[in-house]
């Protein structure tokens, strides 16, 4: 198993699983049934929704799967589903690989698939890896299937259904139940997860409503704790083709309610409706492991990240403009939902979509919201509402809606067709700038700067460009400083994330004021930057302020203590402060939660090396290699370990292996070239450095290394050429 696959699988299951050992009665909650006594219309719409059916007792009313002695073979195991004594059971491989019988406790989801939860010791609930395809038989459904049909997931695999990545408590419980309390005990490493309501009920969005109910029953009119807002009022100005929002209601409160469960994020505080999104979560930006280079969805990232890239979001569109709030269905079928804001005579016409009216290609969503399938049978639409751009899709190696439908065609055909229609995208759209900024070229650096500083670009793209900014000129520092003063907190977060890559004197100066930022996510980034500063360099007031910030940071990580990311972040903080014992304890805590977490093993190896214990470092690297034998990072770490052990030949093999697995990684190429030079293999070192520089043309260190290698080989003209190239690069980047 590769590290990439493991990481992908872990996140794919992030919203797969839910939590509950028992229903609770947290103070302040009334329950959706009580809400329905006065709000019958809304309750009826909600009752059949995906929210209402997010999780339920595994009984005859809720179980959709075939339990009439149904069987499925997977990875050498035959799993059997059956009923006995009025309960639903499964006979399948347990954590030891042996066939074991389990009663099903809860259903999870309803359509297009339904999963089943099984109770384990320590309050754990695990989601079975075999799910029921609840689609109609004519659509390929009404069958059992495995969520990893192309792989062979056995009991020893971290992705096995009994493992940490299928744990309902820590992965998705909070988004499938109302008023959830994970009840994780860090010392016992067990859960006592409880909820106010088993599914996603009224109070998941409106907040605890008991006081509201009590007031209403007493004849009063107290407001709900949270008002997510209503759909906006949109009107067409005279001659306008697209409607404009005319009401004063804010988009923000609704996004703050929907985003926590419709985004890829890390928890940094206990969330209850009404909490500002960035005070309880750190969202994933447009990292290329999650999104394609141009921002299209790649991994299971849900809707928030793509929606914040859209012009819809910039114009004030909110979720309930398109989705009815309680049924969560679209407000109209097909293109009619778009007609509410887009003049149909203009946009739902052959002149616009160039397809036969009523055909698949004439559907707005198929061109502007392409879908990507997750969990085998679950297609989800990209909420970026982007304009198709076949030139960009080819350049960014991202999905193209035209060739996605016309699979027998290629990019050249799509581009020629667009040109024949008179269509050509502007060269500097935010999507194109984002894609170009990912290229390690001078043009890429400039594209990133342009996007980061563009006040008209969507905040998600700007925040990503800021976080990924290659700081190579004074103007880059000024750009970050300006972004840190932006009123939009997502931009401040992106800029704060860039500080860790700056020289310390700049990073620290910019980070200190952020400790007082109004947004928790921004404060935490600043704390991370300031953590390594020795106490001796700080005034008494600075020490006290930083100590307060460090406390907030650690408390924030404890909000995700049942996922390895929480203790991993604490470990990194402690390591930066030179507290090796505390860092080791946190790395070990992370590995108990996720034993196959490669970064934890490699970081632990670095910690042992810092202590001078190479034997323990080697053992940690060996554990990582056993989990991820094809991970470049592991082979690189092993190569460096062997260098320190004096095993030069084996070290070169491992360093070369790392470089071959990740040829675009500048560091791997640099280190291999240095190692080859040290071994007296100067010509090979030059070849490696030259190729690494070709792949990373804005990496000045590679050009400096190349010049040095040429000089040592007596190739002075080539050394001079490399230095001239370095000078030209520096001049180009300074512009």
Query: Could you say which DSSP state residue 388 is in?
Result: P
Furthest-apart CA pair in the chain: how many Å? 93
Evaluate whether residue 626 is within a structural domain.
no
pLDDT digits (tens, 9 = 90+) for 527-556: 999 999 999 999 999 999 999 999 999 999
Angle at CA of residue 557, ends 556 and 562, nearest 5°: 125
pLDDT value, residue 4: 33
The beta strands (E) that lie in 49-98 are given as: 55-57, 68-74, 77-84, 87-93
Tokens of 547: 């100590």
Phi, psi for residue 44 in degrees, rounded to 5: -65, -40
Residue 593 located in a structural domain? no
53 Cβ neighbours under 8 A, 6+ residues apart: 62, 109, 110, 199
Q: Which of 496, 514, 532 is where one domain is finished?
A: 514
* 471 φ, ψ (degrees, to nearest 5): -80, 110
Q: Is the same domain home to 188 and 239?
A: no
Provide the CB-side half-sphere exposure for 703 (13 A, CA): 17
Q: Which of 351, 369, 401 is the last residue of a domain?
A: 401
Q: Quick one: 38 and 103 in the same domain?
A: yes
Mean pLDDT value of segment 83-91 = 97
pLDDT category, 172, cuts 50, 70, 90? confident
Q: What's the pLDDT band for 22 if we cut at 50, 70, 90? A: low
Structure tokens that stand for 666 in this block = 């500048």
Min mean pLDDT across 240-254, 374-388, 571-585 is at: 240-254
Residues 398 and 292 sit within 8 Å (Cβ to Cβ)? yes
| pLDDT band per the 50, 70, 90 thresholds, residue 425 | confident
Enter the tokens of residue 335. Answer: 């293109």
120 and 24 within one domain: yes
Based on the domain organization, do 345 and 394 belong to the same domain? Answer: yes
Question: Domains in the chain: how many in total?
Answer: 3
Say if 388 falls within a structural domain: yes
Asked if pLDDT for residue 390 goes beyond 80, the answer is yes
Do 310 and 394 have their domain in common?
Answer: yes
The pLDDT value given to residue 11: 30
16 pLDDT more than 60:
no
pLDDT tens sequence across 288-322: 999 999 999 999 999 999 999 999 999 999 999 99
Give the model's confidence band at 426: pLDDT under 50 very low, under 70 low, under 90 confident, else very high.
Answer: confident
What residue spans of 645-714 are helical by DSSP H? Answer: 648-661, 666-678, 682-695, 700-712
3-state helix/strand/coil string of 297-350: ECCCCCCHHHHCCCHHHHCCCCHHHHECCCCCCECCCCCHHHHCCECHHHHCCH
Structure tokens that stand for 397 in this block: 């190696």
Alpha carbons 616 and 609: distance in angstroms, whole number: 8
| Residue 331, token pair as written in the block | 């407000």
Torsion angles phi and psi, residue 456, rounded to 5: -90, -5
On the question of pLDDT at 17 being above 60, the answer is no
Give residue 383's domain range.
Answer: 234-401
53-74 pLDDT per residue, tens: 999 999 999 999 999 999 999 9
Domain check: are 297 and 446 in the same one? no
Is residue 409 assigned to a domain? no
As a whole number, mean pLDDT of residues 684-690 equals 98
- pLDDT, tens digit, 9 for 90 and up, residues 255-281: 999 999 999 999 999 998 989 999 999
**Cα–Cα distance, 618 to 613 (Å, whole number):** 9
d(CA 629, CA 626): 6
In the predicted structure, residue 128 carries a pLDDT above the cut 70: yes
Query: What per-residue confidence (pLDDT) applies to 19?
Result: 35
> Does the pLDDT of residue 177 top 70, yes or no?
yes
DSSP-derived secondary structure for 251-285: SHHHHHHHGGGSS-EEE-S---TTS-HHHHEEE--
pLDDT bracket for residue 248 (50, 70, 90): low
191 and 242 in a single domain? The answer is no
Cβ–Cβ < 8 Å for 348, 112: no
Token duo for residue 409: 């065609």
Helix (H, G, I), strand (E, B) or coil at 595: coil
Q: Are residues 9 and 154 in the same domain?
A: yes
User: In the predicted model, is pLDDT for residue 691 greater than 50?
Assistant: yes
- Looking at per-residue confidence, does 381 or 22 come out higher? 381
Is 52 in a helix, a strand, or coil?
Answer: coil
Residue 528 within a domain: no
CB 624 within 8 A of CB 634: yes
Whether the pLDDT of residue 9 is over 50: the answer is no
- Does one domain contain both 203 and 339? no
Assess if residue 532 is contained within a domain.
no
Q: What digits encode the pLDDT tens for the residues 479-511?
A: 999 999 999 999 999 999 999 999 999 999 999
In a domain, 534, yes or no: no
Q: Whose CA is closest to 722, among 684, 694, 682, 695?
A: 694
Would you state the pLDDT for residue 8? 32
Whether 48 and 165 map to the same domain: the answer is yes
- % of the chain with per-residue pLDDT over 70: 96
Q: Percentage of the chain with pLDDT > 90?
A: 91
Mean pLDDT for 162-191 is 96
Q: Does 564 reside within a domain?
A: no
Residue 223 pLDDT > 90, yes or no? no
Mean pLDDT of the chain: 94
Whether residue 396 is found in the same domain as residue 498: no
Closest C-alpha among 312, 317, 320 to residue 258? 320
Q: Do residues 397 and 252 both lie within one domain?
A: yes
Whether 1 has a pLDDT exceeding 70, the answer reads no
Determine the pLDDT at residue 25: 55
């Amino acid at each position: 198993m590769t590290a990439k696959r493991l990481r992908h699988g872990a996140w794919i299951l992030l919203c797969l699983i839910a939590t509950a050992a028992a229903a609770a009665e947290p103070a302040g909650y009334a329950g959706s049934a009580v809400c329905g006594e006065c709000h019958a219309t809304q309750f009826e719409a909600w009752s059949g929704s995906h929210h209402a059916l997010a999780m339920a007792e595994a009984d005859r009313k809720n179980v959709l799967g075939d339990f009439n002695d149904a069987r499925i073979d997977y990875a050498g195991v035959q799993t059997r589903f059956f009923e006995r004594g009025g309960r639903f059971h499964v006979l399948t491989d347990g954590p030891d690989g042996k066939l074991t019988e389990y009663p099903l406790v809860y259903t999870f989801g309803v359509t297009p698939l339904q999963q089943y939860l099984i109770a384990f010791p320590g309050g754990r609930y695990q989601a079975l890896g075999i799910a029921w395809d609840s689609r109609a038989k004519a659509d390929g459904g009404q069958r059992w299937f495995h969520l990893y049909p192309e792989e062979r997931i056995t009991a020893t695999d971290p992705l096995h259904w009994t493992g940490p990545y299928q744990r309902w408590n820590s992965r998705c419980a909070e988004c499938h139940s109302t008023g959830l309390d994970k009840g994780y005990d860090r010392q016992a490493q067990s859960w006592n997860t409880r909820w106010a309501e088993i599914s996603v009920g009224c109070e998941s969005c409106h907040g605890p409503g008991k006081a509201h109910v009590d007031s209403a029953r007493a004849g009063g009119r107290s407001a709900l704790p949270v008002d997510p807002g209503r759909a906006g009022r949109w009107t067409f100005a005279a001659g306008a083709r697209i409607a404009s929002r005319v009401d004063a209601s804010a988009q923000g409160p609704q996004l703050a309610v929907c985003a926590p469960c419709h985004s890829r994020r890390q928890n940094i505080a206990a969330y209850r409706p009404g909490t500002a999104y960035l005070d309880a979560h750190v969202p994933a930006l447009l990292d290329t492991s999650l999104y394609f280079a141009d921002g299209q969805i790649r991994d299971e990232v849900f809707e928030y990240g793509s929606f914040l890239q859209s012009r819809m979001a910039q114009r004030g569109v909110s979720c309930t403009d398109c989705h009815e709030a309680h049924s969560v269905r679209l407000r109209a079928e097909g293109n009619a939902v778009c007609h509410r804001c887009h003049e149909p005579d203009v946009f739902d016409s052959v002149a616009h979509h160039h397809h036969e009216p009523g055909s698949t290609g004439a559907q707005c969503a198929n061109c502007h919201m392409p879908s990507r399938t997750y969990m085998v049978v679950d297609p989800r639409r990209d909420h970026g509402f982007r304009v198709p751009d076949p030139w960009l899709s080819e350049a960014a190696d991202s999905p193209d809606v035209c060739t996605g439908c016309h699979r027998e065609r290629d990019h050249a055909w799509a581009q020629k067709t667009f040109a024949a229609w008179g269509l050509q995208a502007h060269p500097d759209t935010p999507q194109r700038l984002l894609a170009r900024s990912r290229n390690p070229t001078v043009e890429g650096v400039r594209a990133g700067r342009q996007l980061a500083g563009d006040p008209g670009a969507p905040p998600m793209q700007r925040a990503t460009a800021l976080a990924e900014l290659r700081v190579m000129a004074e103007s880059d520092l000024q750009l970050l400083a300006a972004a840190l003063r932006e009123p939009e907190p997502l931009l401040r977060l992106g800029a704060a994330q860039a500080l860790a890559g700056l020289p310390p004197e700049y990073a620290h100066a910019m980070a200190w004021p952020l400790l007082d930022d109004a947004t928790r996510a921004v404060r935490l980034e600043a704390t991370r930057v300031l953590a390594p500063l020795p106490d001796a360099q700080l005034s008494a007031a600075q020490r006290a302020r930083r100590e307060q910030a460090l406390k907030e940071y650690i408390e924030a990580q404890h909000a995700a203590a049942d996922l390895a990311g929480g203790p991993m972040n604490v470990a990194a903080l402690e390591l930066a402060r030179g507290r090796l014992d505390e860092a080791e304890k946190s790395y070990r805590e992370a590995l108990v939660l996720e034993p196959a977490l490669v970064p934890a093993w490699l970081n632990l190896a670095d910690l042992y090396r810092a202590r001078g214990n190479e034997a323990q470092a080697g053992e940690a690297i060996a554990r990582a290699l056993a989990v991820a034998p094809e991970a470049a990072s592991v082979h690189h770490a092993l190569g460096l370990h062997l260098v320190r052990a004096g095993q030069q030949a084996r070290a070169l093999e491992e360093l070369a292996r790392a470089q071959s697995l990740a040829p675009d990684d500048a560091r791997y190429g640099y280190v291999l070239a240095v190692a080859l030079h040290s071994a007296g293999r100067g010509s090979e070192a030059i070849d490696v450095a030259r190729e690494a520089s070709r792949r990373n043309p804005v990496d000045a260190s590679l050009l400096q290394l190349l010049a040095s290698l040429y000089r040592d080989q007596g190739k002075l003209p080539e050394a001079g050429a490399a230095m001239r190239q370095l000078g030209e690069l520096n001049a180009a980047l300074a512009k």
